[in-house]
């Protein structure tokens, strides 16, 4: 075991290296590119026995990834944001091939307006695709999750591709101390990929992704994929035990932080949840009973694990780093559906939208969210959803708008 300062991207690349991947179809996109650069560098130095190939697009990249996995090799790929969406047709398609591989998505807000900084609308667009989704908050978790992801996806009860998600910039380019697990131990945790019946070879023909006629057959295969995804919940628990024995780190489908005696819970995903942890500590120091619940596994959605933590709580502040136009926060809707009708579930689920396009969420805003949630509990009334946006920000925005307006007026004058 070595301890090293790694960026989130570096950690993802290390995960791929330790997983002894065979094949990496690639396409550059900010903020993911460091991952494929790192792997390319290792291949050039002979440190990885792997083929990397740059495709003409993410659509082609995900096609090649799925096709290679369907042929029987261990595949890794990575993308981000617009690229992720460019390949979306294939994200849905390859999941149906039931050929496992790992795709690291480095989250970045979607166009328009175009930006480089993170939120989760990119990865959530694949919510219903059949890919499993693991969302990371630290660089260590990124490395570990890549290993985890292969175990989950390749399990015969699951057989699905897996997305490992990390936030662009905040995690992709932040260096943290990361334990790089011992190679031999990783081999014990993750033996070589056994493609079982999923392969193309002479004398043993297989047809993949074929046409079905009618809804009955279609429903069968689609629902089968859903059940396979749910199986990952069981597999996760098993893998988690093995992982802890070998590497000493424990991963659950959800991370619960200081939730046991908490009355209010922050509920959010990704690296911004580490900011929530800090806020929890501060609020605790002044006697507020606050905790954090972070789904690590988003697909399958760990409903039972979430209920276990939230049972008996008074209220939840759901912080969505995404926005479903015309509805609101995706995570909020997911949580509502998971808790509805469950006895003793928290009566108040307040929806906050924050961190869009990398907009920071500061400590004071967590205090405010806790206060709003507390007030809602006292009144027994859920306030309307709220965007985290300060008066100061609005002033700055108005300032920019007035510049844009002046430029426009100048042009009009010239005419």
Residues that bind another protein (CB under 8 A): 22-23, 25, 49, 51, 53, 55-57, 59-61, 63-73, 75, 89-90, 93, 97, 200-203, 205-213, 217
DSSP 28-80: --TTTHHHHHHHHHHHHTTS---EEEE-SSHHHHHHHHHHHHHHT--BEEEE-
Q: How far is the CB of 156 from another protein (least distance, A)?
A: 18
Q: How far is the CB of 241 from another protein (least distance, A)?
A: 30
What are the phi and psi torsion angles at 368 (to 5°)? -60, -40
Q: How far is the CB of 77 from another protein (least distance, A)?
A: 10
- Element containing residue 135 per DSSP (H, E): strand 132-135
Smaller CB separation from another protein, 64 or 264: 64
Smaller CB separation from another protein, 67 or 239: 67
Distance of alpha carbon 369 from alpha carbon 362, whole angstroms = 11
Q: Contact 31/9 with Cβ under 8 angstroms?
A: yes
Smaller CB separation from another protein, 64 or 376: 64
β-pairing, 315-320 vs 290-295, is unpaired
Smaller CB separation from another protein, 14 or 97: 97
Q: How far is the CB of 205 from another protein (least distance, A)?
A: 5
Smaller CB separation from another protein, 104 or 262: 104
Please, which residues have CB within 8 angstroms of residue 350's CB and are 6 or more apart in sequence?
A: 315, 316, 317, 318, 369, 372, 373, 376, 382, 383, 386
Q: How far is the CB of 114 from another protein (least distance, A)?
A: 21
Q: How far is the CB of 206 from another protein (least distance, A)?
A: 5
Smaller CB separation from another protein, 174 or 225: 225
Q: How many CA atoms lie within 13 A of 345 on its CB side?
A: 15
Distance of alpha carbon 353 from alpha carbon 385, whole angstroms = 8
Q: Contact 31/106 with Cβ under 8 angstroms?
A: yes
Q: How far is the CB of 213 from another protein (least distance, A)?
A: 6
What are the phi and psi torsion angles at 77 (to 5°)? -150, 170
Q: How far is the CB of 20 from another protein (least distance, A)?
A: 10
How many C-beta neighbours within 10 Å does residue 35 have? Answer: 32
For the record, the structure tokens of 332 come out as 């909020």
Distance of alpha carbon 81 from alpha carbon 250, whole angstroms = 30
Distance of alpha carbon 142 from alpha carbon 268, whole angstroms = 17
Looking at residue 350, the DSSP 8-state letter turns out to be E
Q: How many CA atoms lie within 13 A of 1 on its CB side?
A: 10
Smaller CB separation from another protein, 198 or 231: 198
Residue that the structure tokens 């014990």 belong to: 188
Q: How far is the CB of 18 from another protein (least distance, A)?
A: 18
Smaller CB separation from another protein, 177 or 209: 209
Distance of alpha carbon 45 from alpha carbon 42, whole angstroms = 5
Smaller CB separation from another protein, 211 or 400: 211
Helix, strand or coil, per DSSP, at residue 216: helix
Q: How far is the CB of 222 from another protein (least distance, A)?
A: 13
Smaller CB separation from another protein, 42 or 367: 42
């Amino acid at each position: 075991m070595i301890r090293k300062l790694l960026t989130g991207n570096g950690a993802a690349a290390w995960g791929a290296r330790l997983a002894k991947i065979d094949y990496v179809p690639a396409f550059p996109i900010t903020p993911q590119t460091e991952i494929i650069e790192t792997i390319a560098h290792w291949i050039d130095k002979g440190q990885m026995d792997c083929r990397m190939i740059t495709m003409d697009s993410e659509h082609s990249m995900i096609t090649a990834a799925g096709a290679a996995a369907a042929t029987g090799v261990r595949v890794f790929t990575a993308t981000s944001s617009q690229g992720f969406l460019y390949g979306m047709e294939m994200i849905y398609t390859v999941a149906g091939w039931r050929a496992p591989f790992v795709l690291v998505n480095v989250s970045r807000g979607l166009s328009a307006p175009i930006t480089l900084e993170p939120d989760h609308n990119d990865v959530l667009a694949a919510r219903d695709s059949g890919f499993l989704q693991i969302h990371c908050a630290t660089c260590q978790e990124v490395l570990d999750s890549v290993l985890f992801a292969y175990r989950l996806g390749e399990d015969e009860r699951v057989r699905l591709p897996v997305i490992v998600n990390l936030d662009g910039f905040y995690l992709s380019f932040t260096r943290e101390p990361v334990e790089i697990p011992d190679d031999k131990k990783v081999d014990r945790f993750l033996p070589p990929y056994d493609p079982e019946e999923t392969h193309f070879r002479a004398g043993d023909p297989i047809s993949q992704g074929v046409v079905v006629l009618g809804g009955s057959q279609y429903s069968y295969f689609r629902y089968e994929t859903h059940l396979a995804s749910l199986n990952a919940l069981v597999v996760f628990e098993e893998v988690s035990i093995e992982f802890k024995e070998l590497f000493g780190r424990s991963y659950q489908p959800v991370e619960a932080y200081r939730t046991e005696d908490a009355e209010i819970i922050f509920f959010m995903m990704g690296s911004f949840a580490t900011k929530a942890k800090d806020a929890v500590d501060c609020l605790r120091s002044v006697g507020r009973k606050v905790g954090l619940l972070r789904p690590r596994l988003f697909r399958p959605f760990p409903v039972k694990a979430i209920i276990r933590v939230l049972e008996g709580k008074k209220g939840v502040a759901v912080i969505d780093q995404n926005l479903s136009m015309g509805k609101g926060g995706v995570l909020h809707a997911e949580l509502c559906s998971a808790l509805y009708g469950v006895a003793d579930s928290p009566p108040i689920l307040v929806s906050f939208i924050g961190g869009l396009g990398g907009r920071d969420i500061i400590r004071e805003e967590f205090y405010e969210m806790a206060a709003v949630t507390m007030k809602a509990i006292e009144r027994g009334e859920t306030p309307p959803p709220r965007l985290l946006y300060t008066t100061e920000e609005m002033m700055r925005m108005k300032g920019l708008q007035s510049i844009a307006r002046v430029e426009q007026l100048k042009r009009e004058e010239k005419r």
